[in-house]
Amino acid sequence: MFEVTWYAQSSFRLEVDGLRIYHDPFRIPPGEPLADVILISHDHFDHCSPADIAKVRDPERTFVVANPTAASTAELTPPVHVIRPGDSVEYRGLEVRAFPAYNLNKFRSPGVPFHPRERDHVGFVCRAAGVSWYFAGDTDAIPEMAAIGPVDYAFLPVSGTYVMTAEEAVEAVRMLRPRIVFPMHYGAVVGSIADAQRFAELVGDLAEVRILEPQGLPG
| CATH numbers and ranges of domains, the chain | 2-209 (3.60.15.10)
DSSP symbol at 118 = G
Q: What is the largest CA-CA distance in the chain?
A: 47
Residue 57's φ and ψ, nearest 5 degrees, are: -100, 125
Q: Beta-carbon neighbour count of residue 69 at 10 Å?
A: 19
The whole-number pLDDT of residue 200 equals: 98
Helices 193-203 and 166-176: angle between axes, nearest 10 degrees: 50
pLDDT digits (tens), the chain, 219 positions: 899 999 999 999 999 999 999 999 999 999 999 999 999 999 999 999 999 999 999 999 999 999 999 999 999 999 999 999 999 999 999 999 999 999 999 999 999 999 999 999 999 999 999 999 999 999 999 999 999 999 999 999 999 999 999 999 999 999 999 999 999 999 999 999 999 999 999 999 999 999 999 999 998
| Model pLDDT, residue 85 | 98
What is residue 1's predicted lDDT score, i.e. its pLDDT? Answer: 84
Spatial contact of 104 and 120, defined as CB atoms under 8 Å apart: no
Residue in 98, 106, 102 with CA at minimum distance from that of residue 135: 98
Residue-level pLDDT at 16: 97
Q: Which of 193, 205, 180, 186 is nearest to 4 (CA)?
A: 180
User: Quick one: DSSP state of residue 79?
Assistant: P
E strands present in 105-216: 107-109, 112-113, 122-128, 131-135, 153-157, 180-184, 208-209
Identify the pLDDT of residue 34: 98
Q: Which residue spans within the chain are E strands per DSSP?
A: 2-8, 11-16, 19-23, 37-40, 63-66, 81-82, 88-91, 94-100, 107-109, 112-113, 122-128, 131-135, 153-157, 180-184, 208-209
